[in-house]
């Protein structure tokens, strides 16, 4: 039994609301992507070189990334040859198989959040300005508050106009505690915030940071200082450093991931605005090119529309029209 068959059975056991959200959120990508795959299956009775060339272009247009596409096409060619596949329509099932394999094969990457068993769990958020960092922190605060955790937001982006009050507003909306001070040393604010978090017996601390990637040396120094402060307060923290990427920026998002990976230890990615792009293939490109797991995806504007990433729901959202 191929992965495709196993996958179809497994998807029936999933949470219907989550599946629906992925289905709606990936509609733009699916319409672009699957409609072209269907046309390809009709256009070519047999799998030949022209078929592979057109498929390559379709995958690149879905923003799966050139490097990822080449790896994928190579694996597909090998399988076509080994299994003597000639039917282009049947090959669509094999494509789903291979894309699943591309993401999960040999992977020890976890899409789950690591929680601290001794004291507060600390999540540090990084990302360039304008990607929806503060909003994402608010949505994550909402999620974990609803799961019964005591949450605190710390405003480490102290110099950008409006950043501190914006985060404070999210704290109010999500019934979270808040710590912040405008125009102050970010590491100092984090230090004082963590003192307060421990006094208040907080379960989860979400820390915002400045979004400057242009001057890597300054940002690296600032993040190093913040990390030292966090670790001094809570051993093994931060448990997660999450990079926020706007999915609508496509390959530019991959460049941001590579840039931030050079200056700090990124443990996961939050992909915002996935519902607003036809290039949802960026999820696969991130895994292949940066080797960092996607931990959350934004599939709408509501607080409940930020979902924990699930590769099976994602693949279903992309390919449901082929099932």
99 and 132, same domain (yes or no): no
Q: What is the pTM of this model?
A: 0.92
Q: Tens digit of pLDDT per residue, the chain (323 long)? A: 466 677 778 888 888 888 999 999 999 998 888 888 888 888 888 889 999 999 999 998 888 888 889 989 999 999 999 999 988 778 888 888 888 888 776 555 567 898 998 889 999 999 998 899 999 999 999 999 999 999 999 999 999 999 999 999 999 999 999 999 999 999 999 999 999 999 999 999 999 999 887 778 889 999 999 999 999 999 899 999 999 999 999 889 999 999 999 999 999 999 999 999 988 889 888 888 898 999 999 999 999 999 999 888 998 898 888 76
Q: Distance between CA atoms of 123 and 114, rounded to whole angstroms?
A: 9
Tokens in use for 152? 């605190």
Per the listing, tokens 């792009």 go with 277
β-partners of residue 308 are: 296
135 and 47, same domain (yes or no): no
38 and 66, same domain (yes or no): yes
90 and 162, same domain (yes or no): no
From 76, 104, 132, the end of a domain falls on 104
Tokens in use for 226? 């913040």
In terms of phi and psi (left: phi > 0; alpha: psi -120 to 50; beta: otherwise), the region of 127 is left
- Is residue 110 a part of any domain in this protein? no
What pLDDT score does 107 carry?
59
- Is residue 320 a part of any domain in this protein? no
Within 13 Å and on the Cβ side, how many CA atoms surround 246?
14
What pLDDT score does 168 carry?
98
From 45, 71, 104, the end of a domain falls on 104
What residues make up the domain containing 19? 3-104
Length of the chain: 323
206 and 162, same domain (yes or no): yes
- Is residue 322 a part of any domain in this protein? no
What pLDDT score does 108 carry?
53
Number of domains in the chain: 2
Q: Distance between CA atoms of 309 and 284, rounded to whole angstroms?
A: 12
Four-residue CA torsion sign, 25, 26, 27, 32: positive
What pLDDT score does 2 carry?
61
What pLDDT score does 3 carry?
64
52 and 86, same domain (yes or no): yes
From 41, 72, 104, the end of a domain falls on 104
Q: What CATH number is attached to the domain comprising 204?
A: 3.40.50.300
Q: Distance between CA atoms of 221 and 185, rounded to whole angstroms?
A: 12
- Is residue 165 a part of any domain in this protein? yes
148 and 100, same domain (yes or no): no
50 and 196, same domain (yes or no): no
What pLDDT score does 109 carry?
58
Q: What ranges make up the beta strands (E) of 33-138?
A: 121-126
What pLDDT score does 176 carry?
98
60 and 191, same domain (yes or no): no
Q: Distance between CA atoms of 192 and 202, rounded to whole angstroms?
A: 14
Within 13 Å and on the Cβ side, how many CA atoms surround 238?
28
Distance set, CA 305 to CA 15, 249, 250, 255 (Å)? 14, 19, 20, 26
- Is residue 109 a part of any domain in this protein? no
- Is residue 37 a part of any domain in this protein? yes
Q: What CATH number is attached to the domain comprising 42?
A: 1.20.120.140
- Is residue 323 a part of any domain in this protein? no
77 and 195, same domain (yes or no): no
């Amino acid at each position: 039994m191929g992965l495709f068959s196993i996958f179809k059975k497994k998807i029936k056991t999933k949470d219907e609301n989550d599946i629906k959200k992925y289905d709606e959120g990936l509609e733009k990508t699916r319409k672009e992507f699957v409609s072209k795959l269907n046309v390809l299956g009709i256009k070519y009775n047999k799998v030949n070189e022209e078929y592979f060339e057109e498929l390559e272009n379709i995958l690149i247009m879905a923003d799966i990334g050139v490097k990822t596409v080449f790896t994928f096409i190579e694996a597909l060619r090998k399988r076509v040859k080994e299994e003597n596949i000639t039917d282009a329509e049947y090959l669509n099932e094999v494509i789903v198989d291979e894309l699943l394999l591309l993401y999960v094969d040999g992977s020890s990457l976890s899409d789950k959040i690591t929680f601290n068993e001794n004291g507060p769990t600390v999540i540090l958020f990084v990302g360039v300005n304008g990607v929806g960092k503060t909003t994402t922190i608010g949505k994550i605060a909402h999620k974990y508050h609803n799961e019964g955790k005591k949450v605190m937001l710390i405003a480490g982006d102290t110099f950008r106009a409006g950043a501190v009050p914006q985060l404070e507003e999210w704290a109010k909306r999500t019934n979270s505690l808040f710590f912040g001070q405008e125009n102050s040393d970010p590491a100092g604010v984090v230090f004082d915030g963590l003192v307060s978090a421990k006094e208040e017996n907080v379960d989860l601390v979400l820390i915002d940071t400045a979004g400057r990637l242009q001057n890597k040396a300054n940002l690296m120094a600032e993040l190093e200082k913040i990390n030292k402060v966090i670790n001094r307060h809570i051993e093994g923290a931060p448990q997660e450093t999450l990079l926020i990427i706007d999915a609508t920026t496509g390959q530019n998002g991959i460049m941001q991931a590579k840039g931030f990976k050079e200056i700090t230890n990124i443990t996961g990615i939050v992909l915002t605005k996935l519902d607003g792009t036809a290039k949802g293939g960026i999820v696969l490109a991130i895994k292949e090119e940066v080797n960092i797991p996607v931990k959350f995806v934004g599939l709408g504007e509501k607080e409940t529309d930020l979902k924990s990433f699930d590769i099976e729901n994602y693949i279903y959202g992309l390919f449901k029209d082929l099932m």
